[in-house]
Amino acid sequence: MSAPIVDLTGDNAAEVVKDWDTLRHVVTANGGVSRVVMWLLRDLEEKGRLGVHVRSAISRRLDSLGLAHLPVDLPSDQYDIITVYRRGTASATVIDATYHNGNSEEAETALRRLNTSQDAEKLEAVTEKVAELTAILEGVRYPEGNK
């Protein structure tokens, strides 16, 4: 039985993640993907507002930890939820190939490999993650009642 997914979108996220290294460990333990509320990342960066420079610093910090994020441009609203994922994974290959260089041979190869996979469970899991990422990119925001 796998470990339960650690939720980093609720009010108790700061109790679970107190530093950047813990965030990296939680993302890894969550199968290499976690939804994270922006105020948590802002607080880890020890800043007061999610201005352009703070968002850029967060993005660089995540990259230094071997993590990436969607959407590519981090939102400025502290209650927005993003997806943080571990670089070097199969899903990261697909995401990076399609979002950063969608017309490349790498994107075509990554998507073809995904489409021809014989592992139905992995394909189903990736499909669920794509739906989750699509919802985030379409502007799904942190529920008002759970701020």
User: 4 in a domain, yes or no?
Assistant: no
d(CA 10, CA 143): 10
Domain range enclosing 51 = 13-140
Assign 22 a pLDDT band (cuts: 50, 70, 90). Answer: very high
The reply to whether the predicted model has a pTM over 0.85 is: no
Assign 117 a pLDDT band (cuts: 50, 70, 90). Answer: low
**pLDDT given for residue 52 in this prediction:** 95
User: 120 in a domain, yes or no?
Assistant: yes
Higher pLDDT residue, 135 or 16? 16
User: 113 in a domain, yes or no?
Assistant: yes
Q: Which residues contact 89 (CB under 8 A, 6 or more apart)?
A: 32
Assign 27 a pLDDT band (cuts: 50, 70, 90). Answer: very high
Is 13 in contact with 40 (CB distance < 8 Å)?
yes
User: 28 in a domain, yes or no?
Assistant: yes
Is 27 in contact with 85 (CB distance < 8 Å)?
yes
By C-alpha distance, which of 84, 91, 79, 93 is closest to 22?
Answer: 84
Tokens of residue 26, six digits: 């939680």
User: 102 in a domain, yes or no?
Assistant: yes
Higher pLDDT residue, 32 or 4? 32
DSSP state letter for 6 = P
pLDDT at position 28 over 90: yes
Domain count, the chain: 1
Assign 2 a pLDDT band (cuts: 50, 70, 90). Answer: low
Q: What is the pLDDT of residues 73-91, one digit of tens each?
A: 999 999 999 999 999 887 7
Is 23 in contact with 44 (CB distance < 8 Å)?
yes
pLDDT at position 123 over 90: no
Locus of tokens 């994107």: 107
pLDDT at position 132 over 80: no
Least confident of 4-8, 18-22, 39-43, 108-112: 108-112
d(CA 104, CA 55): 28
User: 145 in a domain, yes or no?
Assistant: no
**pLDDT given for residue 1 in this prediction:** 46
Tokens of residue 59, six digits: 């993005």
